[in-house]
Amino acid sequence: MANPSSIVEDGIEYSLGKYDGKRIIYDFPKILIFLEAKGKILFGQHFKIFEEDKDILFKLSNYFIKDYINCEKLRIDPDKGILLTGPVGCGKTSLMKLMRYLVPHQRSYVVMPCRNIVFAFNHLGYKTIEDYGDEGFFCFDDMGIEPIGRHYGRDCNVIGEILISRYELFLQTNLKTHGTTNLSAIEIEDMYGSRVRSRMKKLFNLIDFDYNTNDKRK
């Protein structure tokens, strides 16, 4: 029988903690070892866990493993989604892609660039808003830098409309939505309006990188 506290990657077994017969008691240093190994598989051998990012990873890890005690201490609501914010190149997208693998028994989400969604809207129209505002499980990547959508001459703030639909769905079914953004709260309101921003506060836990974080792509 497979050990539920371990994950096997490329024939190597990575322990994430101990299984006491009822639940997994996670060990954060072991989680970091697994995440770095999985990151190298996904993104290449240059990938590494930076010391400056460990606080962010601690928050994300406790959220995804549903450690309710630590989440309460960290003021994270496990029933809401994650909005990961920070400057360009700090690693937001990579971390959200990576965290999907920490709890393989949970339903995974699709990381979808917001620009791609807008381009789909320009081609297909309002069906795109229905598609992403439905019961799919998504992380909307790079929110706020996408262009305004235009279909048959009509402008539409596509991601803003999708977030409103996702909010209504969250109230009805508790389906989570995740996202990443480079924008500040004020910039988000400028982009999407106060109505969407107020819903985002209820949709997301805000986890933010320090805005002095180095660009890891350089």
Kindly list the distances between the CA atom of residue 156 and the CA atoms of 136, 150, 171, 214, in Å, as whole numbers in the listed order. 21, 6, 24, 34
How far, CA to CA in Å, does 71 sit from each of 60, 66, 133, 159? Answer: 10, 8, 27, 28
* Distance, CA of 36 to CA of 29 (rounded, Å): 11
pLDDT tens readout for residues 31-71: 999 999 999 999 999 999 999 999 999 999 999 999 999 99
- Report the b/e string of 112-125 with b at 16+ CB within 10 A: bbbeebbbbbbeee
Six token digits for residue 76: 């994270």
pLDDT for 115 beyond 90: yes
Split at pLDDT 50, 70, 90, the class of 1 is very low
Closest CA to 107 of 78, 138, 143: 138
Q: What does the pLDDT read at residue 11?
A: 87
Per-residue pLDDT tens digits for 77-99:
999 999 999 888 888 999 999 99
Query: pLDDT confidence of 218, banded at 50, 70, 90?
Result: low
Q: What is the mean pLDDT of residues 116-121?
A: 95
Give pTM, 2 decimals. 0.91
Measured between alpha carbons, how far is 218 from 204 in angstroms, rounded to an integer?
30
> Are 197 and 159 within 8 A, CB to CB?
no
Spell out the domains of the chain, with CATH numbers in brackets.
Answer: 81-208 (3.40.50.300)
